[in-house]
Structure 1
Amino acid sequence: MAEQTFKLPDIGEGIAEAELADWLVKVGDIVQEDDPICEVTTDKATVEIPASVSGRVTWLGGKPGDVMAVGGDLIRIETDSAAPVAEKPAEDAPKEDPRPESEPAAKAGPKADPKPEPKSEPSRPRPARADAPAAMVANAAGRPLAAPSVRGKAREMGIDLRRVRGTGPAGRILHEDLEDFLAHGAIPAAGPGRVQRTATEEIPVTGVRRAISQKMQEAKRRVPHFSIIEEVEVEALEDLRAALNRQYGEKRGKLTLLPFILRALSEAVQDHPEVNAHFDDDAGIVTRHAALHAGIATQTDQGLMVPVVRHAEAMSLWEQAAEIRRLSEAARSRRASPKDLTGSTITITSLGPLGALATTPIINRPEVAIVGINKMVVRPVWNGMAFMPKRMMNLSCSFDHRVVDGWVAAEFVATMKRLIEVPAMLFLEGHDD
């Protein structure tokens, strides 16, 4: 029997440390090689760390929220080639008691019992087993193992996660487990009439949420923002989008509004390179970029992430649409690589149909501008003779006033407005300087 200590591995992109987001195992658990053992979070993504060997967990190197250095001690696993660490029992084991042996050989004694008594034999429950009793499996902090989205859904459904059996890896509670919990007769308790709510909940700001809060705080503290909000008619653009989707949607995929905004942005930054730039305020250097690496602000269960459409200026509308879909799905499923989440030169943010009439988005530092898309509404518009119903949308753009002057920002927004309102200009070949 041997105990091995494993280090926090290098997760790429020159990252020197990561925050321990959650343990997926606890001391005493039996893990198999490549089973996920924990989640760590950088300022770019959340990554699952797999087990390097099979064995029993004997020590955990920190608690959720701790910041750990790459190469630091992460976990210790006791391995023994003679120990039955596999999930399935040996072929000659009794069928009525298929549980793996969970106590060390020294404790059980060298003598084998020919007549085992399962009811009185101490054993550690395996949370991932489908036939296990409904028991809560906790993380190192004592909370049930569940993703933030599952916790939120449980709160909405009035379910106490401590009463739910998890069927995911290491006993993690899944969305399906909540539905199964309700389907088998467990109904959320409802109080008689209206009652006072007095409960409180303390939520540690950790993981991606902590990284987001730090970045937003630093951006507002160091960047003197100013915003310009402009009304844009999208009647012609929406007609064009609908026509393209009717003709090519089945073969190439449906186009949303976002690829058209991205195309307009790729044209506008040629005339206004001041906004497609980074400002290193420590060094006092502004770097303007010819390439358009557009960050697409994306809401996920873990919080706001900004995957990057690289070289958007060289893509067709459908290529942009496909890349936006790929990146959004990767970010929401936490499969986005560090490369997918770095290197943006300007960011687009949109709340879709839930958006307000106007917003004042915060710049994704060290960028110097951000383009906000607000929801589309039908408004009466005066055409010189009468009011006509038109589909309208507001652009909300914020700028770093240290780098971008008000006049330059106004010209940039006017260019975006012109390209969106006359979408034929998006497809002109070449570009006049």
Structure 2
Amino acid sequence: MGEKIIKLPDVGEGVAQAELVEWHVNIGDLVREDTMLAAVMTDKATVEIPSPVEGEVTWRNGDIGDMIAVGAAILKIKTAGEVGEEEPAIELTSPERAPRSAELEDEPKPVAEKREPAAGGTPAKPSAAAASPGVGAPRSGGERPLAPPAVRLRAREAGIDLRQVPGTGPAGRITHEDLDMFLSRETGSAVAAGLQPNKSVQEVKIVGLRRRIAEKMALAKSRIPHITYVEEVDMTALEELRTRLNGNLKPGKPKLTILPFLMRAMVKAIAEQPGINAHFDDEAGVIHQFGGVHIGVAAQTPSGLVVPVVKHAEARDIFDCGREVARLSEAAKNGTALREELTGSTITISSLGAMGGIVSTPVINRPEVAIIGVNKLAIRPHWDGTQFVPRKMMNLSSSFDHRVIDGWDAATFVQRLKALLETPALIFVSE
């Protein structure tokens, strides 16, 4: 028998540590070569770590949310061959705690409790609770239940907290039979008793991309005094133009949404007010105004909110903007966006599409000084001076850093966007 120590590999150039965001295996699990063992995150990229060998997981290091140094040991796998190697120093810290290297130097004790032989040399028999399915007591709130991945998946899909499921396997391990019995008992009691109050409290640890989003939003709101300006825009003419352009698309041309038109309008408005396209270094007291317009487009993904960036929008036409938005959005959703495609924005668009509501208060993407919020497009009655007529209306809800952008300047910028969008021919006019 041998033992293979799995270390955190080099997950990117210049990356010294990564956050542990998911365990795919537990102690005692049998794994094959290339089985996914864990997932770590660096910046906004998630990397899965495969097993290089086949064997049994005997030890693992770290809790979800811990920061692990590149090269540190994360798992040990018992194998049939001789693959042991010298154990490296463990470097593991939590984002909320000081390094715990001293605490983790010793290998954790096996979860299963060793039984001493009873008098006369006969091994002690397991307790009745362990021998009888479903009899064990539920775990305490902080105790992590032992269960294979397939059982965890079933429980997650059924909305079951595994801490409430008694396990009858070794060391209290939860089996499929344990889960079946728990589900049948819960279903039967619910039918018998009718509606019951749900007093459960689920603890969800904020890790990975969600933790990064939380930190960034908290920093932006605490450091930036926001001013939000809302204006309605008559999009009827632009929607007619967009429909006509999409109806006569040539091969290779992308289908246009509202965003490419807004991006080109922003480029023209920024040319008149370059202070909007800037970063504010509040620690150095310096504003960096950019010539290039790099527009971040907030995109919702299964992992959370990310902001892919359309670089140099000032050098792109309507169709090129549309093509790049579609490409980056798809890459962000399937997790293939590169790091440089998710950084470097100078101003951001926040759009929820049909879910955009009437008004929003978007949070500035620090250190930028402005964010343009796109609300829902809807047909609403509009007074034309003599009567109410149906028009396609949309609100722009835009936030500005009030330390460096005055209310007048913010209003001027949004009104310029309004004029360009309501008369879309102006977007295409070179000045």
For normalisation by structure 1, the TM-score amounts to 0.72
Q: 2:199 maps to which residue?
A: 198
Question: Counterpart in 2 of 1:25?
Answer: 25
Change (3 A) 1:152 1:44: farther
Deviates more, 1:349-358 or 1:41-50: 41-50
Residues 1:281 and 1:2: Cα distance change in structure 2 (over 3 Å)? farther
Mapped partners of 2:155, 2:394: distance in 1: 32
Across the two proteins, how many residue pairs are aligned to each other?
348
Report the CA distance between 1:409 and its aligned residue: 1.2
Give the superposition deviation at 1:398. Answer: 0.5
Q: Shift of the alpha carbon at 1:43?
A: 4.0
User: Which residue identity is paired with 2:47?
Assistant: V
Aligned to 2:395: 394
Deviation of 1:141 after TM superposition, in Å, equals 4.8
Counterpart residue identity of residue 46, structure 1: T
Confirm or deny: 8 A CA contact 1:249 1:255 kept in the other structure.
no
Describe the SS at the equivalent of 1:263.
Answer: helix
Aligned to 1:379: 380
With over 3 angstroms needed to count, the CA separation of the structure-2 counterparts of 1:188 and 1:398, relative to structure 1, is farther
| 2:228 maps to 1:227 | yes
Question: Partner letter of residue 413 of structure 2?
Answer: F
Q: What corresponds to 1:257 in structure 2?
A: 258
- String of CA shifts for 1:342-389, please: whole Å, max 9, x gaps: 111111111111111011111111111111000011121111221111
User: 1:206-245: per-residue Cα shift (whole Å, max 9, x none)?
Assistant: 1111111111111111111111111111001111111111
2:242 corresponds in structure 1 to: 241
Q: Structure 1 residue 421: deviation in Å?
A: 0.9
Q: How far apart in 2 are the matches of 1:153 and 1:31?
A: 21
Q: Which runs of 5+ in 2 are unaligned?
A: 84-142, 163-179, 181-185
Deviation of 1:2 (Å): 4.6
Shift of 1:38: 1.4
Q: What pairs with 1:291-310 in structure 2 (closer than 5 Å)? A: 291-310=292-311
Alignment match, 1:314: 315
% identical equivalent positions: 48
Residue aligning to 1:212: 213
Change in 2 beyond 3 A, CA 1:143/1:275: farther
1:37-48 map, 5 Å: 37-48=37-48
Q: Structure 1: how far apart are the matches of 2:48 and 2:410? A: 42
Q: Distance in 2 between matches of 1:280 and 1:17?
A: 27
- Match for 1:25: what amino acid? V
2:282 alignment partner in structure 1:
281
Equivalent residues of 2:279, 2:346 under 8 A apart = yes
Contact 2:26 2:146 in 1 (8 A): no
Question: What amino acid does structure 2 have at the position aligned with 1:68?
Answer: I
- 2: CA distance, partners of 1:53 / 1:331: 32
Are residue 67 (structure 1) and residue 40 (structure 2) matched?
Answer: no
Gaps of 5+ in 1: 84-139, 163-180, 182-186
TM-score by length of 2: 0.72
Report the AA paired with residue 256 of structure 2: L
The answer to whether the 8 Å contact 2:29/2:148 transfers is no
Q: Distance in 2 between matches of 1:82 and 1:319?
A: 57
Structure 2 CA distance for partners of 1:272 and 1:33, relative to 1, 3 Å? farther
CA distance in 2, matches of 1:64, 1:363: 29
Higher relative contact order (CA 8 A, sep 6+): 1
- CA RMSD for the aligned pairs? 3.2
- For residues 280 and 12 of structure 1, do their structure 2 counterparts lie closer, same or farther at Cα, with a shift above 3 Å needed? farther
The aligned counterpart of 1:268 is 269
Deviations 1:22-57 (A, max 9, x none): 012233444455443211123423222334555543
Kindly provide the CA deviation profile for residues 234-267 of structure 1, in whole angstroms up to 9, marking residues without a partner as x. 0011111111111117752322212221221222
Are the structure 2 counterparts of residues 77 and 315 from structure 1 closer, same or farther at C-alpha, using a change threshold of 3 Å? farther
Question: Secondary structure at 2:249's aligned position in 1?
Answer: helix
Closer/same/farther in 2, CA of residues 161 and 329 from structure 1, 3 Å limit = farther
Give CA-to-partner distance per residue, 1:180-229, whole Å, 9 cap, x none. Answer: x9xxxxx9887576543333222111111111111111111111111111
Q: Is the 8 A contact 1:21 1:41 kept in 2?
A: yes
Name the aligned partner's letter for residue 204 of structure 2: I
- Closer, same or farther in 2 for the Cα pair 1:426/1:22, shift >3 Å? same
SS of 1:376's equivalent in the other structure is: strand
Q: Which amino acid aligns with 1:211?
A: R
